[in-house]
Amino acid sequence: MNYRISIGLEVHVQLQTRSKMFCGCAVAFGAAPNTHVCPVCLGYPGAMPAMNREAVVLTVRTGLMIGSTISTYSKFDRKSYFYPDMPKNYQITQYDRPLCENGTVVADGGDGAKTVRIRRIHLEEDVAKNTHFAQASGVDFNRAGVPLMEIVTQPDMTSPEDAFHFLLALKQILQYADVSGCNLEEGNIRCDVNCSVRPEGQEELGTKTELKNLNTFKGVLHALKYESERQMEVLRTGGRVAQETRRWDADAGETYSMRSKEDAHDYRYFPEPDLMPVVLTEGEVDAWRAALPEMPGDRRTRLVRDHGIPEYDAGVLVADKALADYFEAAAKLAQNAKAVSNWMMTEMLRLLGETERDIRTVPITPAALASLVKLVDARTLNSNTAKEIFAELFATGGDPDAMVKQRGLAQVSDRGAIGALVDAAMAENPGPVADFRGGKVAAAKFLVGQVMKKSKGKADPQLVAKLLEEKLAGGGM
């Protein structure tokens, strides 16, 4: 029997506002625990929330990017639950009147583009972070009250890979819209995933399980692979899938049951009496729509058109907004977009991958890369030396012009000086010279290498090859 998988996601995204959702505390990742707190985000009785309007703007902008309908009237509600990360015993969220409804995200998977329908986007507050030690648990309220946007999809994904590609596409949109840092290590994006399987031919979806709080995209992929297989095995052996919340244990590589799933009525949602409804005018929404940033697809077309780089390169660059920003900054300064793109596609991506660094924090600046390109274009540097300098700039930063001057790295392209080195190499290697003249063309390569060595890598290799060819053909030494 074959089975079909259905996957839906609830993606929680921390918005990049300066202050929290309902108080004036700073949003600060990595600060000492409980240093950015106040009566509101600590949940003291009687403390009054006040809405952060910027969070509304960012949520609406996300909705506009994916073609949602924007509600000009929405409101906040209380979702009741009891847990140490939320001492007021309710989370302020949006229940029946979310800011955005519908919309689509197109994910580019291995087997073609896939459209995932979005059900809704609502705004809520993040909760405190629990840390479990050997003898006790700690609660850090710096995270409590950070603006959190929840994006809920329809169960349109039909494989774990679909979910993975959807998340990549969503992250790209969030970065282009400038709504979130999208830093997974800082927990900016966390996913709850629903998964069900059903026998092929059956219309109705199977019973779903939910996996909560997955904080890496690879984790989502692996957890869904395990969970969908587990459910198929249950059905294959005649069992029934229980509706429940399961936990993904990344170290063990398996999911296990946590608790049976609550229904909405268990949360006893009711309108938040301390906050006014959110009322937006059509004019405001239109103005935000008009100010939307360029989408990745449009940017790709523009990069090909304006910079003359290949479609493929443009696709790789725009996949990460920061990478494309870097490219455009360097290309403008270097006046040679193709060369900048080549550096980005080869050395830059290779070193970023090897060192797991972020383009936003690498020491090599766009200006430094532009200088390097100019030095190569002016034939002051040969490509080998340029590569070495690139690696050094990548690791520690610096100014290529100064490095070339200080170290005397400028390429030697003086015919007289190189000619003398060629003569010396030929004199020292009569064997290869005779080989070449006897028809072994490959021997010339060896001789070029010898001349480069003598110049300590600074000779212009094209000029070396040319002079060597002349001299070898000439017959004399």
Interface pick for Zn ion out of 15, 25, 64, 146 (rule CB under 5 A)? 25
**Residue placing its CB nearer to Mn ion in the complex, 125 or 328:** 125
Single out the segment in contact with Zn ion by CB under 5 A; choices: 18-26, 93-101, 233-241, 461-469.
Answer: 18-26
**Residue placing its CB nearer to Zn ion in the complex, 25 or 211:** 25
Shortest distance, position 132 Cβ to Mn ion, whole Å: 22
Shortest distance, position 125 Cβ to Mn ion, whole Å: 9
**Residue placing its CB nearer to Zn ion in the complex, 141 or 164:** 141
Long-range contacts of 24-27 (CB under 8 A, 24+ apart): 25/145, 27/146, 27/147
Concatenating the DSSP letter of every residue in 38-60 gives -TTTTT-TT------HHHHHHHH
Which amino acid belongs to residue 461? P
Interface pick for Zn ion out of 11, 13, 23, 278 (rule CB under 5 A)? 23
**Residue placing its CB nearer to Zn ion in the complex, 78 or 143:** 143
Report the alpha-carbon distance of residue 45 to residue 201 in Å, rounded. Answer: 54
The Cβ-side half-sphere exposure at 459, using a 13 Å CA radius, reads 25
146: region left, alpha or beta (phi > 0 left; psi from -120 to 50 alpha)? beta
Within 10 angstroms of residue 462's Cβ, the number of other Cβ atoms is 12
**Residue placing its CB nearer to Mn ion in the complex, 100 or 197:** 100
Shortest distance, position 156 Cβ to Zn ion, whole Å: 37
Residues that bind Mn ion (CB under 5 A): 150
Element (H, E) at 210: strand 209-214
Shortest distance, position 91 Cβ to Mn ion, whole Å: 7
Residue 464 binding partner per list Mn ion, Zn ion, none, with a CB distance cut-off of 5 to 8 Å that depends on partner kind: none
Element (H, E) at 435: helix 430-437
Residue 167 binding partner per list Mn ion, Zn ion, none, with a CB distance cut-off of 5 to 8 Å that depends on partner kind: none
DSSP type of residue 411: P
**Residue placing its CB nearer to Zn ion in the complex, 103 or 145:** 145
Single out the segment in contact with Zn ion by CB under 5 A; choices: 22-30, 131-139, 223-231, 249-257.
Answer: 22-30
Between 34 and 73, how does the x/- string for binding to Zn ion read (CB under 5 A)? Answer: ----x-xx--------------------------------
Single out the segment in contact with Zn ion by CB under 5 A; choices: 24-32, 91-99, 277-285, 464-472.
Answer: 24-32
Q: Which among 157, 233, 169, 167 has a CA at the least distance from the CA of 195? A: 157
Shortest distance, position 25 Cβ to Zn ion, whole Å: 3
Shortest distance, position 124 Cβ to Mn ion, whole Å: 5
Between 403 and 442, how does the x/- string for binding to Zn ion read (CB under 5 A)? Answer: ----------------------------------------
Q: State phi, psi for 46 to the nearest 5 degrees.
A: 90, -10
Bridge-based pairing state of the strands 189-199 and 147-153: unpaired
Q: Which among 182, 171, 188 has a CA at the least distance from the CA of 360? A: 182
Asked if residue 127 binds Zn ion (CB under 5 A), the reply is no
Query: In 278-396, where does DSSP find H-type helix?
Result: 282-290, 296-307, 311-318, 321-334, 337-343, 349-355, 366-377, 383-396
> Which residues sit at the interface with Zn ion, rule CB under 5 A?
23, 25, 38, 40-41
